[in-house]
Amino acid sequence: MKETVRNIIKKYVNISCETTFIVGFSGGWDSMCLLDIMNKLSKEYGFLLVAAHLNHNWRGKESEAEKERCLAFCEDNDITFISDTLAEGTKASELVAREMRYDFFKRCAEEFEADAILTAHTKSDNAETILYRIIKGTGLNGLEGIKELRDLSGFKVIRPILNFSRKDIEEYCIKNELYPNNDSSNANTKYARNNIRHNIMPAIKLINPNIENSLITLADIAAGNNKVINELMENIEKQITVGNKWLTQNFLILNSAIKQHFVYKLLIKNDFEASFGKIQEIITFISENQNSKTGKTLSLTNDKWLFVSSKYTYFVDSEHYKKIEDEVKVSCIGTYNFANLYNLSIEKNTEKPEKYPKAHEHTAYVSLDKTGFNLTIRTRRNGDIIQPFGMQGKMKLKKYFINKNIPEHDRDKIVLLCKDNEVLWAIGVGLSEKLRAEATPEYKLKLEAL
Question: Tens-of-pLDDT digits for all 450 residues of the chain?
Answer: 999 999 999 999 999 999 999 999 999 999 999 999 999 999 999 999 999 999 887 777 888 888 999 999 999 999 999 999 888 777 767 778 888 899 999 999 999 999 999 999 999 999 999 999 888 877 777 888 899 999 988 999 999 999 999 999 999 999 999 988 876 667 778 778 889 988 999 999 999 999 999 999 999 999 999 888 888 888 888 888 888 889 999 999 999 988 988 888 888 777 787 788 889 999 999 999 999 888 888 988 878 888 999 999 988 887 777 788 889 999 999 999 999 999 999 999 988 888 889 988 999 999 988 888 999 999 999 999 999 999 989 999 999 999 998 888 888 889 999 999 999 999 999 999 999 988 889 999 999 998
- 338 and 308, same structural domain? no
- Domain total in the chain: 3
- 128 and 112, same structural domain? yes
Global confidence as pTM:
0.57
Helix axes 29-45, 166-175, angle to 10 degrees: 60
Provide the pLDDT for residue 31: 94
- 316 and 351, same structural domain? no
The residue segments making up the domain with residue 443 are 328-449
- 16 and 51, same structural domain? yes
- 75 and 44, same structural domain? yes
Residues 6+ apart with CB under 8 A from 21: 9, 13, 38, 47, 48, 49, 50, 114, 115, 116, 117, 118
- 364 and 307, same structural domain? no
Q: Is 416 exposed, middle or buried (0-12, 13-18, 19+ CB in 10 A)?
A: buried
The full length of the chain comes to 450
- 38 and 66, same structural domain? yes
- Using H for helix, E for strand and C for coil, what is the string for 357-399? CCCCCCEEEECCCCCCCCEEEECCCCCCEECECCCCCCEEHHH
Domain termination residue (choose one: 320, 347, 371): 320
Provide the pLDDT for residue 414: 92
The CATH number assigned to the domain holding 277 equals 3.30.465
Provide the pLDDT for residue 184: 67
Residues 6+ apart with CB under 8 A from 266: 315
Domain termination residue (choose one: 211, 229, 255): 211
The alpha carbon of 448 is separated from its chain's Cα centroid by a whole number of angstroms, namely 27
Provide the pLDDT for residue 370: 87
CB 372 within 8 A of CB 363: no
CB 434 within 8 A of CB 370: yes
CB 6 within 8 A of CB 39: no
- 309 and 338, same structural domain? no
- 314 and 170, same structural domain? no
**Looking at the DSSP assignment, which residues form a beta bridge with residue 376?**
329, 418
Domain termination residue (choose one: 158, 192, 211): 211
Provide the pLDDT for residue 280: 92
Specify if 223 maps to a domain. Answer: no
Measure Cα distances from 386 to 25, 188, 329, 383 in Å: 56, 60, 19, 10
Residues 6+ apart with CB under 8 A from 227: none
Give the type of residue at 29.
W
- 29 and 170, same structural domain? yes
The alpha carbon of 213 is separated from its chain's Cα centroid by a whole number of angstroms, namely 32
